[in-house]
Amino acid sequence: MKKTSLTIIGTLIMMCMVITACAPAATPTAGPSPTPVVIKETVVVTPTPAPAGPVTITFWHTYNEVSPENKMLVETLIPMFEAEHPNIKVESLVVPWEDFRRKLFAAIAGGVAPDLIRSDIIWVPELADMGALVALDEAMPDFDQYKKIMFPGPLSTNYWKGHYYGLPLDTNTKVWLYNKEMYDAAGITEPPKTMDDLVAQCEAIKKANPNAYLFAADGTWAWVMLPWIWSFGGDITDPDVTRASGYLNGPKTVAAYEFWLKMYKDGCFAPVILGSGIDPWTGFAQDLYASLDNGPWMYPIFEAQFPNKKLHASLFPAGDGGSINVVGGEDIVLFKQSKHPQEAMEFIRFALSPEYQLKMAEVGQIPVRMDLIESDYMKNHPYYPIFLEQLKTSKARTAHPAWSKMDEIVTNAGQLILRGEKTPQEALDEAAAQIDALLGQ
């Protein structure tokens, strides 16, 4: 490792004390049956010599134990890999998302990290900065062949201080999901295209049902707020991630929060944002909330819970900065403590193969290979195309080891604003100063 063990252990202890906020773990999606795919470009895989004897590599992930994703992994894909590599066994371990970091950091501190993990994209810079990860652009001789076929946005989440420490495994973003029955009852004929449309549509929704709300969300964390901040033209930090002052408390970000505050006070945004009232999805199904923004993983979940209700989707409403939402997803990374790095890299290659990517697409995981996006399967999917369109403008969260703390600061600022304890400018001035201090450390 690049740093001393004491430094790493100290860092780990501090990190385990931090409550993180990030994209919710993806869950299953039933898609149409796959159709033949024409691969426009073939990746030439550098052969890995077969190990002398059977070895076992460990792969940690956050797929729900009973999800179709986990079933696809353990019942189809891992057996497929093991059949092609008879001397390599893959031990799959489910770790709940909320426990993942604590368990992982404890394993690293004990010198028993897994070979591979499916990492939330926002954890990669943090793990790389600790010196825990292998720089794949140095370790994999065929890295560039994978790099050039990946979507740039998801690929960028693996970059830290001059090297790529992982490769994208799956990707996603959020879109505007609307309740067509409520729109119809209010006389709204099409989903909102702009922020101004939201104001007009709120008036129509409230006129049809004074107890209804235009929009609901589950908090003020960055995953919720970033689409609004970016679409208003604001940001959390400068592009080089050296300071928040002038960005988080800049006029465009302040305008996004002022818009939120007005919509909240006017009864357009639901009180569940501050933890009061019916949860967003139940309220949506009960025709109390007219719209949400969320990802593709919610389709099968919503269909299972509310089979008589359908989701309708459009791009996120545009502001001065455009229609911008947030990139989610996971990367696959290799640990320096891996006892079988060559075999682990062979599994990485398999996970990025067309076969693996399309099998996972059947259960809700959007592929990260650009060549697969042109396949008939993806183009004819009932709801992937709107997410792929939104991905063209979606952005990744700030790639920095201190992101979890930054997210907590953003969350607290939003709470202070909506509770009326501080004006948007006051709350964001304080938040920007706190993040400046973090970045200066």
**Which tens digits make up the pLDDT trace of 363-397?**
888 999 988 878 888 889 999 999 988 988 888 89
Closest residue by Cα to residue 291 from 385, 205, 377: 205
**Residue 430 — very low, low, confident or very high, per pLDDT cuts 50/70/90?**
very high
Rg of the chain over Cα atoms, rounded to whole angstroms, equals: 22
Q: Which two tokens stand for residue 8?
A: 């790493």
Maximum CA pair distance of the chain?
73
Q: How far is CA 285 from CA 192, 301, 366, 384, 440, in A?
A: 20, 12, 25, 22, 46
Q: Look at residue 47 and tell me whether its pLDDT is greater than 80.
A: no
Is residue 263 within 8 Å of 214, Cβ to Cβ? Answer: yes
Tell me the helix, strand and coil percentages in the chain, rounded to 5: 45, 15, 40
Is residue 149 within 8 Å of 372, Cβ to Cβ? Answer: no
At 49 the pLDDT is: 60
Burial 236-257 (b: 16+ CB within 10 A, else e): bbeeebebbbebbbbebbbbbb
First to last CA, the chain: 21
Place of tokens 């810079």: 125
Is residue 324 within 8 Å of 124, Cβ to Cβ? Answer: no
Is residue 27 within 8 Å of 296, Cβ to Cβ? Answer: no
Cα–Cα distance measured from residue 16 to residue 318, given in angstroms and rounded to the nearest whole number: 38
At 12 the pLDDT is: 42
pLDDT digits (tens, 9 = 90+) for 292-350: 999 988 888 899 899 999 999 999 999 999 999 999 999 999 999 999 999 999 999 99
DSSP code of residue 327: -
pLDDT digits (tens, 9 = 90+) for 206-226: 999 999 999 999 999 999 999
Place of tokens 């609004």: 228
pLDDT digits (tens, 9 = 90+) for 64-74: 888 889 999 99
Place of tokens 């956050």: 62
Is residue 409 within 8 Å of 430, Cβ to Cβ? Answer: no
Cα–Cα distance measured from residue 419 to residue 85, given in angstroms and rounded to the nearest whole number: 57
Phi first, then psi: what are they for 347, rounded to 5°? Answer: -70, -35
Q: In what order do the strands lie in the sheet with 88-94?
A: 88-94, 55-61, 116-120, 328-334, 167-172
Q: What's the distance, CA 441 to chain centroid?
A: 27
Residue 208 one-letter amino acid:
A
Is residue 137 within 8 Å of 34, Cβ to Cβ? Answer: no
At 51 the pLDDT is: 64
Q: Look at residue 247 and tell me whether its pLDDT is greater than 60.
A: yes
**Residue 7 — very low, low, confident or very high, per pLDDT cuts 50/70/90?**
very low
At 276 the pLDDT is: 92
Closest residue by Cα to residue 122 from 367, 391, 404: 404
Closest residue by Cα to residue 384 from 414, 407, 363, 402: 363
Average pLDDT in the chain: 89
